[in-house]
Structure 1
Amino acid sequence: MLLTPGMVAFDMDGTLLTHDSKLTEGTKEALRQLQQQGCKLVLSTGRMYGSAQIPIDSFPFDGYVCSNGGTVFEGDGTLVRQWLLPTEMVIGAIHALRQETIYYELHDTNSNRWMIKEDRERLEATMSEDASVEGFSILSFPYYRLARVEPLAEVLEKVESGEVEIVKFFVWHQDPDRLEWVKEQLKPWSEQVTITSSGKQNVEVIPQGVSKWEGLQYFCEKWGISPEKVMAFGDAENDREALTGAGYSVAMENASDEIKQVAKYIAPHHNEEGVARFIRERVLGEKGE
């Protein structure tokens, strides 16, 4: 029996995109066929809206849930919902994380990635002395070069004044113990934030109660689609709520065992056009090769 979703929500990294952040032509074609059947398509991602646009090559998604649900955008890019981290929490967390040399960014509602100049310089100096401390892979991140880098005093002033509205902290480290240290530093704000992750090497901090599923509720209400008719694809901890809430929950073959246990279905690996293959077989009814 074919599955009949009215809306399909896609995580991006590790799910819809290949390992090199590409949306393949085969995947685009499967998505077009879904739209032709009247199905609504929503990106549901930890990325900010601006960075979500880069790999999709102008594909016309019907909506966007970004920053793990911190912001919600219409298909034309209009911001319709946002949930902000409390100002005092952002300032306190900055001071807490600055105790160690660690990679972190602040993401705002305008798709900016903020880095503090003093901390970035300290990080680069540490890596030049000992590459094993963090690993030079950080320097190859495309967004590392695109970040807005300003002195601590200026960043704090922008946050305090409300000029910059922060929706997410993104922290990266290769050592799981260092990520546990990060979580310890954030405990004073445990009632104000949710700590999640989009991969084994990061921690993502968003407002309490915010999730991709919470963001998807906007589109369910707008289009009159019940949760039972939502299909959600994901691979990581920040997809848990969406996979739990959606009637058709699909984890990728490359997902963690914990996330696979939440899902009702398993799609092939993201590097093998797993989303497209699942859609063709289970929704469109095409026979496999």
Structure 2
Amino acid sequence: MGLKPRLAAFDMDGTLLNKESQMTETTKKACLELQQQGCKLVLSTGRTFGSAQIPIDAFPFDGFVCSNGATVFESDGKMVHQTLLPNDLVADAILTLRQEVLYYELHDTASNRWMIQEDRERLEAMLEEDTSLEGISIRKFAFYKLARVIPLQEMLEMLSKAETKIVKLFIWHSNPELLEWVREKLVPWNSQVNITSSGRHNVEMLPQGVSKWEGLLYFCNKWGIRPEEVMVFGDAENDREALSAAGYAVAMENASPEIKELAKYIAPHHDDDGVAQFIRQQITECE
């Protein structure tokens, strides 16, 4: 007998997607087979809703938990839940992060990923002369090309007038020491925010109490599904709460040792269609 989840939740980067950030045809087919057996499929990602749509090519997921749970969407894209960062805190965090030259974005409820123009220019000036692996990795970073640029003063005015709703700050750098500096600088807001990570090279600041699991509970309540009937696939720190609470916790082979310790099952590597392999070996072909 195979496993019997009623809801399967998938992290994207490092889990559902391969190293080229693609949902392969093999993975799509396996997920459809699972869905046809009556299991609800939910994306559970740190991405904004808009960014989450890019690699899935209109795959018919039953729901979306985005921005690590700060926003929740029905299958048709209707937002049914949002948790916001305080705008004054966001403004203070921007001014703090500007003390170093690093990559950061502000994610809002409309799926915009904002980057401060002056800081982008500083970063680009540094990269012109940077031939190190660090500089090359930033140039290759896909989100760098997709972020919307806004002058600092304009963003601060938008925040002061409540003209934007920010759900997440995303900070990226290949230097772990600089990321540790970021974490230290964010400590004063620990009572108001949740600090997590979706990979070795980033830090993410979310509203307090927000997690992928809290977002998934919306769908559990909607469909009458118990936590022990939920299967969660993940690979990173921002999957911790969901993996800890779900009845079927599946970590990817490429996950960190700390995340693997939370799992009841280990799926093959994300770049080997690990999700598809697990679904077929443990669920659909065991019927």
Q: TM-score range by the shorter chain?
A: over 0.9
**Which position in structure 2 is the counterpart of 1:243?**
243
**Which position in structure 1 is the counterpart of 2:255?**
255
Q: Is the 8 A contact 1:50 1:111 kept in 2?
A: yes
Letter in 2 for 1:222: K
**Which position in structure 1 is the counterpart of 2:141?**
141
Runs of 4+ in 1 over 6 A off after TM superposition: none
**Which position in structure 1 is the counterpart of 2:79?**
79
Letter in 1 for 2:222: K
- State how 1:1-150 maps to structure 2 within 5 Å: 1-132=1-132, 134-150=134-150
Q: Is the 8 A contact 2:72 2:215 kept in 1?
A: yes
**Which position in structure 1 is the counterpart of 2:234?**
234
Q: Is the 8 A contact 2:88 2:159 kept in 1?
A: no
**Which position in structure 1 is the counterpart of 2:176?**
176
Letter in 1 for 2:150: E
SS of residue matched to 2:149: strand
The RMSD of aligned alpha carbons is: 1.2
SS of residue matched to 2:56: coil
User: What CA deviation, in whole Å up to 9, does each residue of 1:184-209 have, x standing for no partner?
Assistant: 11111110111111110000110111
Q: CA deviation at 1:133?
A: 8.5
**Which position in structure 2 is the counterpart of 1:155?**
155
Give the whole-Å Cα distance in 2 for the aligned partners of 1:95 and 1:33: 49
Structure 2: runs of 5 or more not aligned = none
Q: Is the 8 A contact 1:126 1:133 kept in 2?
A: no
Give the whole-Å Cα distance in 2 for the aligned partners of 1:112 and 1:221: 29
Structure 1: runs of 5 or more not aligned = none
User: What CA deviation, in whole Å up to 9, does each residue of 1:249-276 have, x standing for no partner?
Assistant: 0000000000000010000000111101
SS of residue matched to 2:261: helix
Q: Is the 8 A contact 1:70 1:211 kept in 2?
A: yes
Question: Does 2:244 match 1:215?
Answer: no
Q: How many residues align?
A: 287
Q: CA deviation at 1:170?
A: 0.6
Q: Is the 8 A contact 1:251 1:259 kept in 2?
A: yes
Q: CA deviation at 1:63?
A: 0.2
- Identity over the aligned pairs, expressed in percent? 67
SS of residue matched to 1:262: coil
TM-score by length of 1: 0.97
Q: CA deviation at 1:172?
A: 0.7
SS of residue matched to 1:92: helix
Question: Does 2:255 match 1:264?
Answer: no
Give the whole-Å Cα distance in 2 for the aligned partners of 1:19 and 1:52: 15
User: What CA deviation, in whole Å up to 9, does each residue of 1:223-250 have, x standing for no partner?
Assistant: 0000000000000000000100100000
Give the whole-Å Cα distance in 1 for the aligned partners of 2:265 and 2:36: 24
Q: CA deviation at 1:147?
A: 1.2
Give the whole-Å Cα distance in 1 for the aligned partners of 2:160 and 2:137: 32
Q: Is the 8 A contact 1:48 1:66 kept in 2?
A: yes
Give the whole-Å Cα distance in 1 for the aligned partners of 2:84 and 2:131: 35
Letter in 1 for 2:3: L
SS of residue matched to 2:178: helix
SS of residue matched to 1:55: helix
SS of residue matched to 2:72: strand
